[in-house]
Structure 1
């Protein structure tokens, strides 16, 4: 039985209309490194400083600490501008799904490749709050600031389990819209779910080892209901 779910943010629970992709590409290319679409997709969902380091190197720019730092600042500034011009919104049906899950007693955490300052402003713009009880949107949030390494390492999911008070990985489902989201879930030993609300197609997500691929997070409550029904029949 699933007692906790862990969801990615941008592209999974939050529709930012590809702003992260655009900001990351812009910052890295302004630093002199061309970015191939495949490389950009490969590094989406990871810690953004790690992504910048990798993309700079792939584009032929030596990723010195000063260049990485300056490129990350440019990414943050561009992302802030994009978010101000076109504020992110919840993915369709996500807020109802979160409320449904929490009403059933399923604890909910968000994880992200962003650091804490970006996440704070993003949640505030959505009006989402973090804490136990029905007055809040989710129970916990884990950022790359909280762990030693971001996805595809399992640490954010395991830290979310720690915050949610869940010990058994078999009671946890993690969902995201990128390959590294699914890999992190597999590495964590939890139920790994890909969702088709990001840049990847269903076929691309299904090519990665997974447990389920859904149209979106809005379908997770029905998935859990179906799993529980099958367990009940068994």
Structure 2
């Protein structure tokens, strides 16, 4: 029986029209280096400061802490502008899927490569929240843990926040390779790739997974099937 479903945010439960990709590319390339598209995809879903540092290095630059923090500010500003131009919205049927899971007694958590200063305003703009009257049981941001994806720590932190102790009763879903890797590293019972991000099925299936679905809209049915086994 699944007790906790842990979802990524951008590209998995939230449609933000590729703004994170654009913002990350801009933040890195404005230092004067070039970002390889495959490298950019590899670092999507990770902590954004870690991603900036890694992508600048891969482009031939030599980042230090000051540069990374400055470019993170560039990332935030670009993302804010894009979100104002084209506001994010829930992935089709995501609201319903989260509600269905919670109605069955399955707790729902979101994890993200964003830090709280980006993630929480984004969730507020959608009316998503934890606490009384909210539609979520927990939110875990990248700055809450010592390392973001593909490390398992955000998943384990979500378990801690929701009181779930058995990783075999946790489902993890995301649209990037590092989402699947984090689920695998955490040892969860079900690892789901979804096709609402930038990666096609063939690439997601290269990584350890249990299922690859068209979207999170299908997760409630999957959770029900798992519970019945």
Shorter-chain TM-score tier: over 0.9
TM-score with structure 2 setting the length: 0.98
Which residue number corresponds to residue 154 of structure 1?
A: 152
TM-score (norm 1): 0.96
Matched residue, 1:128: 128
2:183 is aligned, of 165, 182, 185, to 185
| Deviation (angstroms), 1:70 | 1.1
The whole-number CA distance in structure 2 between the counterparts of 1:137 and 1:125 is 14
- Helix, strand or coil at the partner of 2:113: coil
Aligned residue for 1:78?
A: 78
- What is the RMSD of the two structures over their aligned residues, measured on CA atoms? 0.8
Q: CA deviation at 1:48?
A: 0.2
Using the alignment, how far apart are the partners of 2:91 and 2:30 within structure 1?
A: 30
Query: What secondary structure sits across from 1:141 in the alignment?
Result: strand
Which residue is equivalent to 2:140? 142
Q: For residues 58 and 45 of structure 2, what CA distance do their matches in structure 1 show?
A: 17
What are the within-5 Å matches in structure 2 for residues 114-125 of structure 1? 114-125=114-125
Q: How does 1:52-63 map to 2 (within 5 A)?
A: 52-63=52-63
Moved over 2 A (4+): none
After superposing the two structures, state which structure 1 stretch, 15-24 or 219-228, moved more. Answer: 219-228
Measure how far apart 1:131 and its partner are: 2.0
In the alignment, what sits opposite 1:99? 99
The equivalent residue for 2:18 is 18
Higher mean C-alpha deviation, range 149-158 or range 201-210: 201-210
Structure-1 separation of matches of 2:69 and 2:126: 28
Gaps of 5+ in 1: none
What is residue 219 of structure 1 aligned with on the other side? 218
The whole-number CA distance in structure 1 between the counterparts of 2:75 and 2:227 is 43
Deviation per CA, 1:204-231, whole angstroms, max 9, x where unpaired?
A: 11111111111111100011112223x1
- The alignment partner of 2:108 has SS state of strand
CA distance in 2, matches of 1:68, 1:118: 16
* Alpha-carbon distance between aligned partners in 1 of 2:161 and 2:154, rounded to the nearest angstrom: 10
What are the superposed Cα offsets for residues 138-161 of structure 1, whole Å, 9 maximum, x if unpaired? Answer: 110000111000000000000000
Output the CA distance in 2 between the equivalents of 1:228 and 1:167.
17
- Match of 2:171, SS state, is strand
Number of equivalent positions = 228
Match of 2:7 in 1: 7
Distance 2:67 2:119 in 1: 23
